Amino acid sequence: MSDPVPLIVIGAGPAGLCAAAEATAAGVETLLLDEQTAPGGQIYRAIGRASPERQAILGSDYGRGARLLEVLDSGCLDYRPSASVWQVTPEREVYFTIAGQAQSLRAERIVLASGAMERPMPFPGWTLPGVMGAGAAQTLLKSSGLLPGGGAVLAGSGPLLFLVASQILDAGGRIAALVETTPRGNSMRAMPYLPAMLRMPSYLTKGAVLLARLRRAKAPHFKGAHNLSAQGGKRIEFLRFTAGGRDHDVPCSLLLLHQGVVSNVQITRALGLAHDWKPLPRAWQPRLDPWGGSALEGIAMAGDGGGIFGARAAELQGRLAGLDAAYRLGKLTQAARDAKARSVQRALAAERAARPFLDRLYQPAAEFLNPADETLVCRCEEVTAGQIRGFVKLGCLGPNQAKSFGRAGMGPCQGRVCGLCVSEIIARARGADVQDVGYFRIRPPIKPVTLAELAAMACAGPNDAK
Amino acid sequence: MQSNYDALIIGGGLHGLSSALHLARAGLKPVVLEKDYPGRHASGVNAGGVRRLGRHKAEIPLSVAAMKLWREIGELTGEDCGFTPCGQVKVAETETEMAGQRARVESLVAQGHGHEELIDAKELRSLVPTIAPHCLGAIVCRDDGAADPFRTAMAFARAARAQGASIQDGARVQSIERRDGLWRAATAQGRFAAPILINCAGAWGGEIAARLGEPVPMRTQAPMLMITERLAPFLEPVLGAAGRALSFKQFSNGTLMIGGGHLGRAEPARNATHLDFAALSRSAQSVLALFPALRGLRVVRAWAGIEGVMPDGIPVIGPSETREGVFHVFGFCAHGFQLGPITGQIVAAWAQKKPMNLPIAPFRIGRFA
């Protein structure tokens, strides 16, 4: 293998772009690998290519992303889009495929900025054709200007649900109904966290603007909806739920679901890093130091992959990780790193303070965390919540045994979709803590790789049997 | 102190669980001391090959006896363990390999073993229609097959418990001593004592033997396996190759498993394994050499298990030669799965001081001294 690259940043969203910006500004030769065809990550998807009209629809936040792209002009940056990173090892080897060609590079330091994913929202019928993630619909809107044909029903909870609804309306689409599943008691339970939130008033005003936009559109808006089920034969025909003490059947051909985003922990899990279960957002977070550093020498994480604190926090975390990488690579003194970091750290603390309120307010209802028996939880291998509870009765203690008992989490997505849910179901069924029940051991490759790509990786090792 | 046991079994892998089942069936009360949970390591994550084909000559009698138990595995354990007698095939790609295979089959037949059979290119193609055209023939074991390893371990565990065995999860053995005619083990789950001690600790078996004052030159290895996405059924038997590190099988759900001894790195002290992608790359090359049409097939998962390997490539099976009341069953060198049902029977015969019907002398622990 050739000389190591000083720094590899994985992911060109806000965190990765900012990490690369700080590192290259300090003179660190940086390789930026990104899965997408264009920089910006999920939040600023295709930002460099969006027309002024589409930028207007997608809002001022989206325009903010454009400034992040300035780093791409740096002479120290090697930016490679359409790179599917399928393995990162503790020895800092990064394996990736571009245009069907697999390769590996070693780095002195790595900043993982692999981001978030939508929290899956399992309930009976959620796997019917015509049901998809609201984030996925937003992706289509951002990258291709694609709108749902006919009217869409949106169901779930969290700020992105309102944002997507408002963006669909602005783009000329129709919302057949907005079905909010945030449990009625959440706002009371979130009150203790409100004072910290008020330090960041922009979030509240933004929320109010979105709600007003939806009211003007006069889309039916149901609150406190529960007992959801998607009904239909070959595809979804209507959404059934209870709200306001009555049962509702809302006809729909497209149901968009959303209940927040969570860290995508496939890379940090595959690296074997320790993760903590965070009861408020009900999600896992890799254990990191204030610079984003992990227990593995030279491997740091920035942005949503280390816990969800929003796009601005991701930028700030990216800056800290980039500054620290520059310091560790001898391009900044410790004093210079600390001086540059001070205002970033203050801003980050303010961003983080808003989070517990949002996490509590939009905590998903129990029926989507620990769903009814008939709900398909592992879509790849078609394992239901009831089957997983059955495994526990047979002595299954955790997700890794659930793989062996009934293949839960063993399909091509490697448990990315069902992982959170499988851990919660087993914890409830055992009466144990989710932390103790643990998570799937994530096996490489973290993204599927073809036999031809693997075979063509021209390398020879001395390490085979016999 | 819980001393109402007849045997302490260290290790809840297949050999420990099979020992527990056979001892319990004989009316004894064993306790399995498992540091993690049953089937956590090699027993639960191996390739599941139920194979007599290609065995070391010393292992053949045990393997043949084990095969009889596999055919009735439901009677022994109460479930089928996913066993299917789909056959095993070992392909020859060159004249030299073909000649080697012919010599092996003739020598086995001369010793009275008819399970391995030589077939020509035409019959190979009828068994494996998609195989690359350069293949010249193969050895087949028509009623060898494969089973589901973790299900098998669980089935033995359940059956052993049903017969009165105790299985302790999370019971890492901290100390072992012999006092007043009993072996006494202090574990994370309490203290246990019994007149006999069975070392079925797999890749940790060498460590246990050393603690008993009987060190062996065992190494640990991490053989790697890969699983692909699903594919329409095209391969019935388990397939290996004379000249390549390859073992290849299609499951009933359509996924392919690719193994054959490509090694990662084992870290037994941390229960951890690390993959070697250069070796996995060669593993993928072997598959494509025999099945070029699979180029676009995606690998969805790769892993490794931790194995104990002896210098001569065969396990340690037999009584301690220095300590009273100890029997060793470990170091299976990545081919112990098929032998699981029979090793328990060997342990039970020894524990009851019954005559040993199988030739286990080649596996004695003292052979390295």
Lowest-confidence segment of A47-51, A66-70, B120-124 by average pLDDT: A47-51
Q: Which domains does chain A have, with CATH numbers?
A: 5-117+262-357 (3.50.50.60), 120-259 (3.50.50.60), 370-437 (1.10.10.1100)
Q: For residues A333 and B297, give the distance between their C-alpha atoms in angstroms, rounded to a whole number.
A: 49
Note the pLDDT of residue A458.
Answer: 59
How many contacts (CB atoms, under 8 Å) link A and B? 108
Which letter does DSSP use for residue A364 in this model? P
CA B171, CA A176: separation in Å to the nearest integer? 58
Task: For CA atoms A322, A323, A325, A330, give the dihedral sign.
Answer: positive
- Its CATH architecture, for the domain B7-77+149-217+312-368, is 3-Layer(bba) Sandwich (3.50)
The whole-chain average pLDDT of chain A stands at 89
Q: Which of B44, B262, B300 sits opposite A404 (nearest CB)?
A: B44
Q: Which of A412, A444, A461 sits opposite B279 (nearest CB)?
A: A461
Question: A463 and B276 in contact by Cβ < 8 A?
Answer: yes
Please state, for a pLDDT cut of 90, what percent of chain A lies above it.
63
pLDDT of residue A172: 81
Highest-confidence segment of A18-27, A95-104, A347-356, B244-253? A18-27
Could you give the residue range(s) of every CATH 3.30.9.10 domain in chain B? 219-309
Cα gap A109→A327, rounded to integer Å: 11
**A397 interface with B at CB cutoff 8 Å:** yes
Query: Which mean pLDDT values do the consecutive 10-residue runs of chain B (369 residues) have?
Result: 83 98 98 95 93 97 98 97 96 97 97 96 96 96 95 96 96 96 96 97 97 96 95 95 94 92 92 91 94 94 95 98 97 96 98 94 95
Spell B271-288 as b/e; 16+ CB within 10 A means b.
eebbbbbbbbbbbbbbbb
Interval A292-341: pLDDT, tens: 999 999 999 999 999 999 889 999 999 999 999 999 999 999 999 999 99
Percent of chain A clearing pLDDT 70 (strictly above) = 91
**Domain B219-309 = CATH 3.10.20.90:** no
Residue among B320, B267, B330, B319 at smallest CA distance from B12:
B330
Give this prediction's pTM. Answer: 0.86
Task: Report the alpha-carbon distance of residue B276 to residue B245 in Å, rounded.
Answer: 15
Range 100-119 of A in CB contact (< 8 A) with B: 104
Query: A443 — contact with chain B (CB < 8 Å)?
Result: yes
- Alpha carbon A417 to its chain's center: 11
Question: Is the predicted pLDDT of residue A160 greater than 90, yes or no?
Answer: no
What distance in Å separates the CA atoms of residue A315 and residue B367, rounded to the nearest whole number? 64
CA distance A213 to chain B (A): 44
Checking if the pLDDT of A48 tops 70, the result is: no
Residue A252 CA neighbour count, 13 Å, CB half? 30
ipTM for the whole complex: 0.91
pLDDT tens profile A212-225? 888 888 889 999 99
Kindly tell me if the per-residue pLDDT of A461 is higher than 70: no
Task: For chain B, give every residue range classified as CATH 3.50.50.60.
Answer: 7-77+149-217+312-368
Assess B288–A contact: CB distance below 8 Å, yes or no: yes
For residues A15 and A136, the model is more confident at: A15
Instruction: Indicate yes or no: CB of B274 within 8 angstroms of CB of A457.
Output: no
Burial B176-213 (b: 16+ CB within 10 A, else e): bebeeebbbbbbeeeebbbbbbbbbbbbbbbbbbeebe
Predicted local distance difference test score (pLDDT) of residue A23 = 97
B274 contact residues in A (CB cutoff 8 A): 89-90
